[in-house]
Amino acid sequence: MKQFTLEGKNPAVSFLIIYGFCLFLSILFLLLATKSSPLYPFNDWVDVNASFTMGKGMMNGKILYRDIFDQRGPLFYLLFGIAYLLANTSFIGIFLFEVIAFSIFLFFSFKLLFIFLDFYYSLIALPLIASSILNLRSFAQGGSPEEFCLPLITISLYYLFIFFKNVYPKEMPNRWVFINGILAGCVLWIKFSLLGFWFGWMASTFICMLINNGFHRAIKGPIVFIVGMLTATLPWIGYFGINHSIFEWINSYIFINLTSYSEAISLVSIIKFSIIGILTHLVQNPVIIGLLYFGLIVFIIYKKFIHNFFNKFSLLFCFLFLALSVFGGGRNYIYYFLIFSPFIIFGYIVLLTRFYEKYGVKKFDKSVIIILIVLISGIFYTLQFNHNTTMLETNKEDLVQYKYASIINETENATLLNYGTLDGGFYTTTGIIPNIRFFQNLNISYSKFSLVMDEQNRYIKEQVVDY
Protein backbone atom coordinates (compact mmCIF):
# COMPACT_ATOMS: atom_id res chain seq x y z
CA MET A 1 0.00 0.00 0.00
CA LYS A 2 1.36 3.42 -0.92
CA GLN A 3 2.33 5.64 1.99
CA PHE A 4 1.41 9.32 1.60
CA THR A 5 4.51 11.05 2.89
CA LEU A 6 5.97 14.44 2.10
CA GLU A 7 9.59 14.58 1.05
CA GLY A 8 11.81 14.39 4.12
CA LYS A 9 8.86 13.89 6.50
CA ASN A 10 7.84 10.82 8.46
CA PRO A 11 4.27 9.43 8.09
CA ALA A 12 3.01 11.02 11.33
CA VAL A 13 4.13 14.50 10.31
CA SER A 14 2.77 13.97 6.79
CA PHE A 15 -0.58 12.93 8.28
CA LEU A 16 -0.77 16.12 10.37
CA ILE A 17 0.17 18.32 7.40
CA ILE A 18 -2.37 16.67 5.09
CA TYR A 19 -5.17 16.72 7.64
CA GLY A 20 -4.24 20.31 8.52
CA PHE A 21 -4.65 21.23 4.84
CA CYS A 22 -8.05 19.48 4.77
CA LEU A 23 -9.08 21.36 7.92
CA PHE A 24 -7.93 24.65 6.41
CA LEU A 25 -9.94 24.03 3.23
CA SER A 26 -12.97 23.03 5.28
CA ILE A 27 -12.91 26.19 7.38
CA LEU A 28 -12.22 28.48 4.42
CA PHE A 29 -14.97 27.21 2.12
CA LEU A 30 -17.58 26.61 4.81
CA LEU A 31 -17.14 30.14 6.13
CA LEU A 32 -18.56 31.25 2.78
CA ALA A 33 -20.88 28.37 1.86
CA THR A 34 -22.92 27.49 4.96
CA LYS A 35 -25.36 29.83 6.66
CA SER A 36 -24.23 28.36 9.98
CA SER A 37 -20.98 30.28 9.48
CA PRO A 38 -20.26 33.18 11.86
CA LEU A 39 -20.09 35.40 8.76
CA TYR A 40 -23.85 34.96 8.30
CA PRO A 41 -26.45 36.67 10.49
CA PHE A 42 -28.51 33.50 10.89
CA ASN A 43 -29.24 30.13 9.32
CA ASP A 44 -32.91 30.53 8.47
CA TRP A 45 -33.37 27.05 6.97
CA VAL A 46 -36.45 25.51 8.59
CA ASP A 47 -34.95 21.99 8.66
CA VAL A 48 -31.88 23.09 10.59
CA ASN A 49 -33.92 25.11 13.07
CA ALA A 50 -36.25 22.16 13.69
CA SER A 51 -33.25 19.93 14.40
CA PHE A 52 -31.76 22.56 16.69
CA THR A 53 -35.05 22.77 18.61
CA MET A 54 -35.12 18.98 18.95
CA GLY A 55 -31.51 18.90 20.17
CA LYS A 56 -32.20 21.76 22.59
CA GLY A 57 -35.21 19.93 23.96
CA MET A 58 -33.16 16.76 24.37
CA MET A 59 -30.49 18.62 26.34
CA ASN A 60 -33.18 20.06 28.61
CA GLY A 61 -34.80 16.78 29.60
CA LYS A 62 -37.31 16.31 26.79
CA ILE A 63 -37.51 12.75 25.48
CA LEU A 64 -37.18 12.64 21.70
CA TYR A 65 -40.39 11.81 19.82
CA ARG A 66 -42.39 11.33 23.04
CA ASP A 67 -42.15 14.89 24.41
CA ILE A 68 -40.95 16.74 21.33
CA PHE A 69 -41.59 15.56 17.78
CA ASP A 70 -39.75 15.64 14.47
CA GLN A 71 -38.79 12.86 12.08
CA ARG A 72 -35.04 12.69 11.70
CA GLY A 73 -32.81 10.29 13.59
CA PRO A 74 -31.79 10.57 17.26
CA LEU A 75 -28.05 10.66 16.51
CA PHE A 76 -28.63 13.73 14.35
CA TYR A 77 -30.49 15.43 17.20
CA LEU A 78 -27.73 14.53 19.63
CA LEU A 79 -25.29 16.37 17.37
CA PHE A 80 -27.51 19.45 17.42
CA GLY A 81 -27.97 19.09 21.17
CA ILE A 82 -24.22 19.25 21.74
CA ALA A 83 -24.08 22.23 19.37
CA TYR A 84 -26.77 23.91 21.48
CA LEU A 85 -24.60 23.47 24.58
CA LEU A 86 -21.77 25.21 22.73
CA ALA A 87 -23.97 28.14 21.60
CA ASN A 88 -27.55 28.44 22.88
CA THR A 89 -29.06 30.79 20.32
CA SER A 90 -26.83 30.51 17.26
CA PHE A 91 -25.42 27.88 14.94
CA ILE A 92 -21.75 28.32 15.79
CA GLY A 93 -21.69 24.83 17.30
CA ILE A 94 -23.17 23.37 14.13
CA PHE A 95 -20.59 25.25 12.08
CA LEU A 96 -17.81 23.60 14.11
CA PHE A 97 -19.34 20.17 13.49
CA GLU A 98 -19.70 20.96 9.78
CA VAL A 99 -16.00 21.87 9.64
CA ILE A 100 -14.96 18.67 11.40
CA ALA A 101 -17.18 16.48 9.22
CA PHE A 102 -16.06 18.10 5.97
CA SER A 103 -12.38 17.97 6.92
CA ILE A 104 -12.70 14.21 7.59
CA PHE A 105 -14.48 13.86 4.26
CA LEU A 106 -11.62 15.68 2.49
CA PHE A 107 -8.98 13.59 4.26
CA PHE A 108 -10.53 10.31 3.14
CA SER A 109 -11.07 11.83 -0.29
CA PHE A 110 -7.31 12.35 -0.38
CA LYS A 111 -6.71 8.73 0.63
CA LEU A 112 -9.04 7.56 -2.12
CA LEU A 113 -7.45 9.88 -4.67
CA PHE A 114 -3.99 8.69 -3.69
CA ILE A 115 -4.84 5.13 -4.73
CA PHE A 116 -4.93 6.37 -8.33
CA LEU A 117 -2.99 9.64 -8.44
CA ASP A 118 0.43 11.08 -7.65
CA PHE A 119 0.76 12.65 -4.17
CA TYR A 120 0.72 16.25 -5.39
CA TYR A 121 -2.12 15.68 -7.85
CA SER A 122 -4.13 14.28 -4.95
CA LEU A 123 -3.54 17.51 -3.03
CA ILE A 124 -4.47 19.61 -6.06
CA ALA A 125 -7.78 17.75 -6.31
CA LEU A 126 -8.89 18.66 -2.77
CA PRO A 127 -9.82 22.35 -3.31
CA LEU A 128 -11.50 21.34 -6.57
CA ILE A 129 -13.62 18.78 -4.74
CA ALA A 130 -14.37 21.16 -1.85
CA SER A 131 -15.56 24.01 -4.06
CA SER A 132 -17.49 21.67 -6.36
CA ILE A 133 -19.51 20.06 -3.57
CA LEU A 134 -20.16 23.13 -1.44
CA ASN A 135 -21.43 25.05 -4.45
CA LEU A 136 -23.91 22.40 -5.51
CA ARG A 137 -27.53 23.48 -5.15
CA SER A 138 -28.03 20.30 -3.13
CA PHE A 139 -25.71 21.64 -0.42
CA ALA A 140 -28.75 23.80 0.42
CA GLN A 141 -28.07 26.10 3.38
CA GLY A 142 -25.83 24.00 5.61
CA GLY A 143 -26.48 21.49 8.36
CA SER A 144 -28.39 18.73 6.54
CA PRO A 145 -28.15 15.04 7.54
CA GLU A 146 -26.58 14.36 4.14
CA GLU A 147 -23.74 16.75 4.91
CA PHE A 148 -22.80 14.91 8.10
CA CYS A 149 -22.95 11.56 6.29
CA LEU A 150 -20.42 12.64 3.61
CA PRO A 151 -17.37 11.47 5.61
CA LEU A 152 -19.08 8.17 6.44
CA ILE A 153 -19.82 7.26 2.82
CA THR A 154 -16.29 8.33 1.75
CA ILE A 155 -14.66 6.18 4.43
CA SER A 156 -16.66 3.18 3.20
CA LEU A 157 -15.72 3.92 -0.42
CA TYR A 158 -12.07 3.96 0.63
CA TYR A 159 -12.37 0.59 2.39
CA LEU A 160 -14.11 -0.86 -0.67
CA PHE A 161 -11.25 0.15 -2.98
CA ILE A 162 -8.38 -0.90 -0.73
CA PHE A 163 -10.12 -4.26 -0.27
CA PHE A 164 -10.02 -4.93 -3.99
CA LYS A 165 -6.56 -3.41 -4.38
CA ASN A 166 -4.75 -5.10 -1.47
CA VAL A 167 -6.83 -8.00 -0.12
CA TYR A 168 -9.12 -9.53 -2.76
CA PRO A 169 -9.62 -12.47 -3.45
CA LYS A 170 -8.99 -13.14 0.24
CA GLU A 171 -11.66 -12.34 2.79
CA MET A 172 -12.18 -8.76 3.90
CA PRO A 173 -10.72 -8.40 7.42
CA ASN A 174 -13.42 -8.60 10.11
CA ARG A 175 -12.17 -5.34 11.60
CA TRP A 176 -12.90 -3.51 8.35
CA VAL A 177 -16.37 -5.04 8.10
CA PHE A 178 -17.10 -4.14 11.74
CA ILE A 179 -16.00 -0.52 11.23
CA ASN A 180 -18.25 -0.18 8.20
CA GLY A 181 -21.10 -1.75 10.14
CA ILE A 182 -20.69 0.96 12.77
CA LEU A 183 -20.71 3.62 10.04
CA ALA A 184 -23.91 2.15 8.61
CA GLY A 185 -25.39 2.05 12.12
CA CYS A 186 -24.64 5.74 12.57
CA VAL A 187 -26.34 6.53 9.25
CA LEU A 188 -29.32 4.41 10.34
CA TRP A 189 -29.88 6.76 13.28
CA ILE A 190 -29.16 9.94 11.31
CA LYS A 191 -31.34 9.31 8.25
CA PHE A 192 -32.15 5.73 7.34
CA SER A 193 -33.09 6.50 3.72
CA LEU A 194 -29.36 6.94 3.01
CA LEU A 195 -28.61 3.31 3.90
CA GLY A 196 -28.91 2.07 0.33
CA PHE A 197 -25.20 2.66 -0.21
CA TRP A 198 -24.28 0.32 2.63
CA PHE A 199 -26.76 -2.31 1.46
CA GLY A 200 -24.96 -2.28 -1.87
CA TRP A 201 -21.57 -2.26 -0.09
CA MET A 202 -22.32 -5.30 2.05
CA ALA A 203 -24.25 -7.22 -0.59
CA SER A 204 -21.51 -6.84 -3.21
CA THR A 205 -18.65 -7.72 -0.87
CA PHE A 206 -20.62 -10.74 0.39
CA ILE A 207 -21.11 -11.97 -3.18
CA CYS A 208 -17.37 -11.57 -3.84
CA MET A 209 -16.43 -13.50 -0.69
CA LEU A 210 -19.06 -16.15 -1.42
CA ILE A 211 -17.60 -16.83 -4.87
CA ASN A 212 -13.99 -16.92 -3.67
CA ASN A 213 -14.19 -18.19 -0.10
CA GLY A 214 -17.34 -20.31 0.17
CA PHE A 215 -20.56 -19.79 2.09
CA HIS A 216 -19.35 -20.56 5.62
CA ARG A 217 -16.52 -18.05 5.44
CA ALA A 218 -18.49 -15.47 3.47
CA ILE A 219 -21.44 -15.43 5.88
CA LYS A 220 -19.18 -14.04 8.60
CA GLY A 221 -19.11 -10.71 6.75
CA PRO A 222 -22.83 -9.87 7.05
CA ILE A 223 -22.88 -11.12 10.65
CA VAL A 224 -19.94 -8.91 11.66
CA PHE A 225 -21.49 -6.01 9.73
CA ILE A 226 -24.79 -6.40 11.62
CA VAL A 227 -22.90 -6.59 14.92
CA GLY A 228 -21.30 -3.26 13.99
CA MET A 229 -24.71 -1.75 13.28
CA LEU A 230 -26.04 -3.08 16.59
CA THR A 231 -23.07 -1.55 18.39
CA ALA A 232 -24.12 1.88 17.05
CA THR A 233 -27.73 1.12 18.04
CA LEU A 234 -27.21 -0.03 21.63
CA PRO A 235 -26.91 3.50 23.12
CA TRP A 236 -30.31 4.38 21.66
CA ILE A 237 -31.91 1.21 22.94
CA GLY A 238 -30.60 2.25 26.34
CA TYR A 239 -31.78 5.86 26.03
CA PHE A 240 -35.31 5.07 24.88
CA GLY A 241 -35.57 1.95 27.04
CA ILE A 242 -34.74 3.81 30.25
CA ASN A 243 -37.31 6.46 29.31
CA HIS A 244 -39.99 3.90 28.37
CA SER A 245 -40.38 5.31 24.89
CA ILE A 246 -39.10 2.63 22.50
CA PHE A 247 -42.52 2.48 20.80
CA GLU A 248 -42.55 6.25 20.23
CA TRP A 249 -39.00 6.07 18.85
CA ILE A 250 -39.63 3.29 16.33
CA ASN A 251 -43.13 4.44 15.40
CA SER A 252 -42.14 8.09 14.91
CA TYR A 253 -38.81 7.63 13.18
CA ILE A 254 -39.41 4.44 11.18
CA PHE A 255 -43.09 3.74 10.57
CA ILE A 256 -44.47 7.27 10.22
CA ASN A 257 -41.62 8.17 7.86
CA LEU A 258 -42.22 5.06 5.75
CA THR A 259 -45.99 5.49 5.55
CA SER A 260 -46.24 9.28 5.31
CA TYR A 261 -43.40 10.23 2.98
CA SER A 262 -43.30 7.43 0.44
CA GLU A 263 -45.30 7.78 -2.76
CA ALA A 264 -44.00 4.58 -4.38
CA ILE A 265 -46.24 1.51 -4.31
CA SER A 266 -44.42 -0.87 -6.66
CA LEU A 267 -40.94 -1.81 -7.83
CA VAL A 268 -41.60 -0.10 -11.16
CA SER A 269 -42.51 3.18 -9.45
CA ILE A 270 -39.46 2.97 -7.17
CA ILE A 271 -37.18 2.57 -10.21
CA LYS A 272 -39.02 5.34 -12.08
CA PHE A 273 -38.72 7.80 -9.18
CA SER A 274 -35.02 6.93 -8.80
CA ILE A 275 -34.26 7.64 -12.47
CA ILE A 276 -36.23 10.90 -12.35
CA GLY A 277 -34.37 11.96 -9.20
CA ILE A 278 -30.95 11.37 -10.74
CA LEU A 279 -31.80 13.16 -13.98
CA THR A 280 -33.45 16.11 -12.21
CA HIS A 281 -30.28 16.97 -10.32
CA LEU A 282 -28.17 16.56 -13.45
CA VAL A 283 -30.23 19.33 -15.06
CA GLN A 284 -29.78 21.57 -12.00
CA ASN A 285 -25.97 21.24 -11.90
CA PRO A 286 -24.99 19.91 -15.34
CA VAL A 287 -21.23 20.57 -15.20
CA ILE A 288 -20.32 19.15 -11.78
CA ILE A 289 -22.89 16.34 -11.70
CA GLY A 290 -22.11 15.62 -15.33
CA LEU A 291 -18.47 15.16 -14.29
CA LEU A 292 -19.62 12.90 -11.47
CA TYR A 293 -21.54 10.64 -13.85
CA PHE A 294 -18.72 10.76 -16.39
CA GLY A 295 -16.18 9.58 -13.82
CA LEU A 296 -18.49 6.84 -12.57
CA ILE A 297 -19.13 5.56 -16.10
CA VAL A 298 -15.41 5.57 -16.97
CA PHE A 299 -14.56 3.66 -13.79
CA ILE A 300 -17.26 1.06 -14.43
CA ILE A 301 -16.85 0.56 -18.19
CA TYR A 302 -13.12 0.92 -18.87
CA LYS A 303 -10.23 -1.07 -17.40
CA LYS A 304 -7.88 1.88 -17.11
CA PHE A 305 -8.69 2.48 -13.44
CA ILE A 306 -10.38 -0.72 -12.25
CA HIS A 307 -9.30 -4.06 -13.68
CA ASN A 308 -11.34 -6.26 -11.37
CA PHE A 309 -14.89 -6.93 -12.53
CA PHE A 310 -16.18 -7.31 -8.97
CA ASN A 311 -14.74 -3.93 -8.00
CA LYS A 312 -16.69 -2.35 -10.85
CA PHE A 313 -19.77 -4.34 -9.87
CA SER A 314 -19.47 -3.22 -6.23
CA LEU A 315 -19.11 0.46 -7.13
CA LEU A 316 -22.16 0.28 -9.41
CA PHE A 317 -24.14 -1.64 -6.77
CA CYS A 318 -23.41 1.00 -4.11
CA PHE A 319 -24.51 3.85 -6.38
CA LEU A 320 -27.67 2.18 -7.66
CA PHE A 321 -28.94 1.09 -4.26
CA LEU A 322 -28.20 4.54 -2.86
CA ALA A 323 -30.35 6.01 -5.67
CA LEU A 324 -33.16 3.55 -4.91
CA SER A 325 -33.17 4.33 -1.20
CA VAL A 326 -32.92 8.12 -1.61
CA PHE A 327 -35.32 8.71 -4.51
CA GLY A 328 -37.38 5.51 -4.62
CA GLY A 329 -40.00 6.85 -2.23
CA GLY A 330 -41.04 9.55 -4.68
CA ARG A 331 -39.81 12.57 -2.73
CA ASN A 332 -37.03 14.70 -4.19
CA TYR A 333 -36.01 17.72 -2.16
CA ILE A 334 -33.08 19.77 -3.39
CA TYR A 335 -30.67 18.57 -0.68
CA TYR A 336 -31.27 14.86 -1.34
CA PHE A 337 -28.52 14.61 -3.96
CA LEU A 338 -25.74 15.82 -1.66
CA ILE A 339 -25.10 12.28 -0.40
CA PHE A 340 -24.03 11.31 -3.95
CA SER A 341 -21.39 14.04 -4.13
CA PRO A 342 -18.42 11.90 -2.96
CA PHE A 343 -18.67 10.10 -6.30
CA ILE A 344 -17.32 13.33 -7.87
CA ILE A 345 -13.91 12.07 -6.73
CA PHE A 346 -13.87 9.60 -9.62
CA GLY A 347 -14.52 12.35 -12.15
CA TYR A 348 -11.52 14.31 -10.88
CA ILE A 349 -9.36 11.18 -10.90
CA VAL A 350 -10.13 10.76 -14.61
CA LEU A 351 -9.41 14.43 -15.41
CA LEU A 352 -6.21 14.66 -13.37
CA THR A 353 -4.92 11.36 -14.73
CA ARG A 354 -5.21 12.81 -18.21
CA PHE A 355 -3.46 15.97 -17.03
CA TYR A 356 -0.72 13.84 -15.41
CA GLU A 357 -0.18 11.85 -18.62
CA LYS A 358 0.27 15.06 -20.58
CA TYR A 359 2.36 17.13 -18.18
CA GLY A 360 3.94 14.59 -15.83
CA VAL A 361 4.62 14.79 -12.11
CA LYS A 362 4.72 18.25 -10.58
CA LYS A 363 7.33 19.04 -7.98
CA PHE A 364 6.44 20.59 -4.67
CA ASP A 365 7.04 24.24 -5.59
CA LYS A 366 5.03 24.03 -8.81
CA SER A 367 2.27 22.07 -7.05
CA VAL A 368 1.94 24.84 -4.44
CA ILE A 369 1.42 27.40 -7.20
CA ILE A 370 -1.25 25.24 -8.85
CA ILE A 371 -2.99 24.62 -5.50
CA LEU A 372 -3.03 28.38 -4.79
CA ILE A 373 -4.51 29.11 -8.22
CA VAL A 374 -7.19 26.45 -7.76
CA LEU A 375 -7.88 27.63 -4.20
CA ILE A 376 -8.26 31.31 -5.11
CA SER A 377 -10.42 30.40 -8.11
CA GLY A 378 -12.64 28.29 -5.86
CA ILE A 379 -13.07 31.13 -3.39
CA PHE A 380 -14.01 33.63 -6.10
CA TYR A 381 -16.37 31.10 -7.65
CA THR A 382 -18.06 30.56 -4.27
CA LEU A 383 -18.44 34.27 -3.62
CA GLN A 384 -19.86 34.83 -7.09
CA PHE A 385 -22.15 31.84 -7.59
CA ASN A 386 -22.99 30.21 -4.26
CA HIS A 387 -26.72 30.58 -3.64
CA ASN A 388 -26.25 31.44 0.05
CA THR A 389 -23.80 34.33 -0.21
CA THR A 390 -26.48 36.94 -0.95
CA MET A 391 -27.37 36.71 2.73
CA LEU A 392 -23.88 37.82 3.79
CA GLU A 393 -24.96 41.44 3.37
CA THR A 394 -28.05 41.05 5.58
CA ASN A 395 -28.02 42.57 9.08
CA LYS A 396 -29.16 40.41 11.96
CA GLU A 397 -31.47 43.18 13.18
CA ASP A 398 -33.39 43.11 9.89
CA LEU A 399 -34.39 39.45 10.22
CA VAL A 400 -37.91 38.70 11.39
CA GLN A 401 -36.62 36.01 13.75
CA TYR A 402 -34.69 38.58 15.79
CA LYS A 403 -37.44 41.21 15.58
CA TYR A 404 -39.96 38.74 17.00
CA ALA A 405 -37.47 37.53 19.60
CA SER A 406 -37.11 41.05 21.02
CA ILE A 407 -40.89 41.19 21.48
CA ILE A 408 -41.44 37.65 22.75
CA ASN A 409 -38.61 37.81 25.28
CA GLU A 410 -40.29 40.76 27.00
CA THR A 411 -42.62 38.13 28.48
CA GLU A 412 -40.97 36.25 31.32
CA ASN A 413 -40.77 32.49 30.70
CA ALA A 414 -42.68 32.90 27.45
CA THR A 415 -44.06 29.87 25.63
CA LEU A 416 -44.30 29.60 21.86
CA LEU A 417 -46.03 27.68 19.07
CA ASN A 418 -44.74 27.68 15.47
CA TYR A 419 -48.20 27.22 13.98
CA GLY A 420 -48.89 25.50 10.67
CA THR A 421 -45.35 25.56 9.22
CA LEU A 422 -41.92 24.09 9.74
CA ASP A 423 -39.71 25.68 12.41
CA GLY A 424 -39.01 29.24 11.27
CA GLY A 425 -36.16 29.81 13.73
CA PHE A 426 -38.15 31.60 16.43
CA TYR A 427 -37.37 28.94 19.03
CA THR A 428 -33.69 29.42 18.20
CA THR A 429 -33.49 33.20 18.49
CA THR A 430 -35.71 33.39 21.59
CA GLY A 431 -33.99 30.47 23.30
CA ILE A 432 -37.42 29.01 24.15
CA ILE A 433 -37.74 25.29 24.85
CA PRO A 434 -41.12 24.11 23.55
CA ASN A 435 -43.64 23.14 26.22
CA ILE A 436 -45.61 21.18 23.63
CA ARG A 437 -44.91 18.02 21.64
CA PHE A 438 -45.87 19.28 18.17
CA PHE A 439 -43.92 22.54 18.20
CA GLN A 440 -44.13 22.85 14.38
CA ASN A 441 -46.03 21.41 11.43
CA LEU A 442 -44.38 18.85 9.12
CA ASN A 443 -44.07 18.21 5.39
CA ILE A 444 -46.85 15.62 5.63
CA SER A 445 -50.36 16.12 4.29
CA TYR A 446 -53.21 16.36 6.77
CA SER A 447 -54.83 13.28 5.24
CA LYS A 448 -51.80 11.15 6.06
CA PHE A 449 -51.01 12.50 9.53
CA SER A 450 -53.72 14.72 10.96
CA LEU A 451 -52.55 14.50 14.58
CA VAL A 452 -50.07 17.39 14.27
CA MET A 453 -52.50 20.08 13.18
CA ASP A 454 -55.27 18.73 15.40
CA GLU A 455 -52.97 19.10 18.39
CA GLN A 456 -51.74 22.53 17.30
CA ASN A 457 -55.32 23.72 17.05
CA ARG A 458 -55.99 22.32 20.52
CA TYR A 459 -52.98 24.22 21.91
CA ILE A 460 -54.49 27.47 20.64
CA LYS A 461 -58.02 26.65 21.78
CA GLU A 462 -56.83 25.77 25.29
CA GLN A 463 -54.34 28.68 25.40
CA VAL A 464 -51.42 26.38 26.11
CA VAL A 465 -48.90 28.87 24.70
CA ASP A 466 -48.33 32.62 25.04
CA TYR A 467 -47.34 33.28 21.42
Per-residue pLDDT tens over the stretch 408-462: 999 999 999 999 999 999 999 999 999 999 999 998 888 788 899 999 999 999 9
| Other residues' Cβ atoms within 10 Å of the Cβ of residue 403 | 12
Q: Return the ∠ at Cα 417 (arms to 415 and 421), rounded to 5°.
A: 160
**330 pLDDT above the threshold of 70:** yes
Predicted local confidence at residue 4, as pLDDT: 61
Mean pLDDT (the chain, rounded): 92
Q: What is the pTM of this model?
A: 0.94
- 14 φ, ψ (degrees, to nearest 5): -60, -40
CA torsion, points 284, 287, 291, 294, in degrees to nearest 10? 80
Highest mean pLDDT of the ranges 208-212, 328-332, 436-440: 436-440
Predicted local confidence at residue 359, as pLDDT: 75
Minimum mean pLDDT among 85-99, 381-395, 438-452: which range? 438-452
Average pLDDT over residues 69-97: 97
Q: Phi-psi category of 4—alpha, beta or left, where left has phi over 0 and alpha has psi -120 to 50? A: beta
Predicted local confidence at residue 264, as pLDDT: 57
Minimum mean pLDDT among 29-33, 320-324, 325-329: which range? 325-329
Predicted local confidence at residue 212, as pLDDT: 85
How far are the Cα atoms of 249, 312, 370, 389 from residue 153, in angstroms, in the given order?
25, 17, 28, 28
Cα–Cα distance between 402 and 424 in angstroms, integer? 11
Cα–Cα distance between 20 and 379 in angstroms, integer? 18
Where are the strands (E) in 56-116, listed by range? none
Cα–Cα distance between 415 and 427 in angstroms, integer? 9
Q: Are 380 and 398 in contact (CB under 8 A)?
A: no
Residue 120: enclosing H or E segment and its boundaries? helix 119-134
**9 pLDDT above the threshold of 60:** no
Percent of the chain at pLDDT > 90 equals 77
Burial class of 99 by CB neighbour count within 10 A (0 to 12, 13 to 18, 19+):
buried
Where are the strands (E) in 249-305, listed by range? none
Predicted local confidence at residue 17, as pLDDT: 87
**7 pLDDT above the threshold of 60:** no
Average pLDDT over residues 337-363: 88
Cα–Cα distance between 114 and 129 in angstroms, integer? 14
Highest mean pLDDT of the ranges 12-26, 46-60, 365-379: 46-60
Number of alpha carbons in the 13 Å side-chain half-sphere of residue 142: 32
**260 pLDDT above the threshold of 90:** no
Instruction: Give pLDDT tens digits for 269-307.
Output: 888 888 888 888 888 889 999 999 999 999 999 988 998
3-state class (DSSP) for residue 197: helix
166 vs 262: which has the higher pLDDT: 166
Average pLDDT over residues 41-68: 97
Predicted local confidence at residue 444, as pLDDT: 86
Average pLDDT over residues 124-138: 95
